[in-house]
Amino acid sequence: MEGYCVKCKSKREIENGAEVVMKNGRKAMKGKCPTCGTGMFRILGKA
């Protein structure tokens, strides 16, 4: 899964990505940037 790293300011592949469910019921992907190690978060579609 690809996400945007705020620190690197570019799109990168999410490392150790895990699917989580937010409070509002939507799914998201949470992981780390392979380059700098900053936490990355990507909101997925509904359902």
Please state whether the predicted TM-score (pTM) of the whole model is above 0.85: no
Please report, for residues 7, 16, 31, 45, the alpha-carbon distance to residue 37 in angstroms, rounded to integers and kept in the order given.
Answer: 9, 11, 9, 25
Residue-level pLDDT at 47: 61
Residue-level pLDDT at 17: 94
- 12 — phi, psi (to 5°)? -140, 160
Domain boundaries, the chain: 2-43
1-47: pLDDT as tens digits: 899 999 999 999 999 999 999 999 999 999 999 999 999 999 998 76
Residues 6+ apart with CB under 8 A from 10: 4
User: Is the Cβ–Cβ distance between 33 and 6 less than 8 Å?
Assistant: no
Residue-level pLDDT at 18: 95
Residue-level pLDDT at 10: 93
Residue-level pLDDT at 13: 95
